[in-house]
Amino acid sequence: GQRIAEIYASGKPVFSFEFFPPKTDQGAENLMRTAADLKESVEPDFISVTYGAGGTTRDRTHSVVTQIQDDLGITGLAHLTCVGASSEEIQSVVQRLEDAGVRNVLALRGDPPEGAERFEVHEGGFGHATDLIAFLQENHDVCIGGACYPESHPEATSAEEDLRFAKAKQDAGADFLTTQLFFDDRLYLAFVERARAAGITIPIVPGIMPITNVAQIQRFTKMCGASLPEKLLDRLRPVQDDPAAVMATGIEFAITQCRELLEKGAPGIHFYTLNKSHATRSVLAALR
Ligand code: FAD
């Protein structure tokens, strides 16, 4: 795999996809078919693989990301969180990734495990993504990404404070930042402007989720503190029981959103695919 910072440095719009590791062997097979299908039709620049709550998918994240690199020849980005692991355990997870040829890690704090109210620091572990980023920078030779939040992280006490922590990620060694999903480009553009003014110079990549299901997107946005514009909901509500119509509306909206982002200087688009290829493929086909 290539270092992702080098891909962004090429100056061409970078298109990447996010998958989560399936729970079963059958699911893993389906996912590899989806990835192969995407490779053939749209040639993703890289594919990222999430890290499940509580570190429960550690081995599956590893196997999916290495399979994507080895079998499909697509650069992989392994997500990694601070949840439920000491620094020694994190050290060995990243060492294994490096040994397998994975050169990119998205360093996250992670969400509290199901049922827990607050994030708890694991014994000998890290409390913030910045600590994990500094640790990776010091102990490993990987390209490092971090998360950022155009509408602020739900636990942040202010937008200013949240932006300071985003800057701290760059200072600790992050090479790029990927945003939480959003549906109003103005949120991203305003965030980038504030970030540049605060001294953040690394790429800030918009994370986009084409809507395919109304109830699901309402649940997701509520969970991650992103807003769903009333105007978009007004278009979705009348068709919400017609999956094909929801999909078409979601795709059309995402195309408009991505076009504007790229026109206004976004370095690429990171698609939250939910392991499905149709919506993302349609959006990308229209963009290219
Ligand atoms: P942090 O940057 O640590 O921020 C968490 C909170 O602490 C924020 O409120 C921030 O303002 C505050 N903060 C940050 N630094 C400090 C500091 N030094 N001192 C005090 N306060 C601080 N979750 C998963 O479990 N697995 C995944 O694979 C995954 N992938 C993701 C990919 C992307 C692109 C994004 C945007 C999110 C992803 N998440 C994933 C969700 C993420 O784990 C949650 O949003 C989590 O609550 C915060 O993670 P973070 O890395 O942004 O944390």
DSSP per-residue codes, 207-223:
EE-----HHHHHHHHHH
Convert the pLDDT of each residue in 105-139 to its tens digit.
999 999 887 778 788 899 999 999 999 999 999 99
User: What pLDDT is stored for residue 272 in this prediction?
Assistant: 97
Residue 73 has pLDDT above 80, yes or no: yes
* C-alpha 36 to ligand 1 mean position (Å): 30
User: What pLDDT is stored for residue 54 in this prediction?
Assistant: 61
d(CA 197, CA 123): 37
User: What pLDDT is stored for residue 110 in this prediction?
Assistant: 94
pTM of the model: 0.97
Q: What's the token pair of residue 114?
A: 């199901």
User: What pLDDT is stored for residue 65 in this prediction?
Assistant: 97
User: What pLDDT is stored for residue 117 in this prediction?
Assistant: 79
User: What pLDDT is stored for residue 192 in this prediction?
Assistant: 98
Convert the pLDDT of each residue in 205-225 to its tens digit.
999 999 999 999 999 999 999
Convert the pLDDT of each residue in 246-283 to its tens digit.
999 999 999 999 999 999 999 999 999 999 999 999 99
Convert the pLDDT of each residue in 142-176 to its tens digit.
999 999 999 999 999 999 999 999 999 999 999 99
What is the overall mean pLDDT for the chain?
A: 95
Residues within a 6 A CB radius of ligand 1: 50-51, 53, 79, 81, 106, 108-111, 128-130, 147, 153, 155-156, 161-162, 165, 168, 178, 180, 207
Among 128, 178, 188, 220, the mutation site with the greatest number of ligand 1 atoms within 8 A of its Cβ is 128
Residue 47 has pLDDT above 70, yes or no: yes
Ligand 1 atom nearest to CA at 147: 36
Ligand 1 atom nearest to CA at 129: 3
User: What pLDDT is stored for residue 55 in this prediction?
Assistant: 58
Q: Please state the φ and ψ torsions of residue 65, each to the nearest 5 degrees.
A: -70, -35
What's the farthest any 2 CA atoms get from each other in the chain? 53
Looking at the annotation, which residues are catalytic? 18
Q: What's the token pair of residue 197?
A: 């003014």
Reference 184, options 215, 221, 154, 159; nearest CA is 221
Instruction: State the Rg of the chain over Cα.
Output: 18
| 77 close to 16: Cβ distance less than 8 angstroms | yes
User: What pLDDT is stored for residue 113 in this prediction?
Assistant: 75
Convert the pLDDT of each residue in 5-46 to its tens digit.
999 999 999 999 999 999 998 999 999 999 999 999 999 999
What share of the chain in percent tops pLDDT 70?
A: 99
Start-end of H helices in the chain:
4-9, 25-42, 58-72, 87-99, 129-139, 159-172, 185-197, 214-224, 230-236, 243-263, 278-287
* C-alpha 110 to ligand 1 mean position (Å): 6
Reference 77, options 36, 99, 106, 51; nearest CA is 106
* C-alpha 262 to ligand 1 mean position (Å): 25
Among 153, 160, 187, 275, the mutation site with the greatest number of ligand 1 atoms within 8 A of its Cβ is 153
Among 108, 130, 269, the mutation site with the greatest number of ligand 1 atoms within 8 A of its Cβ is 108
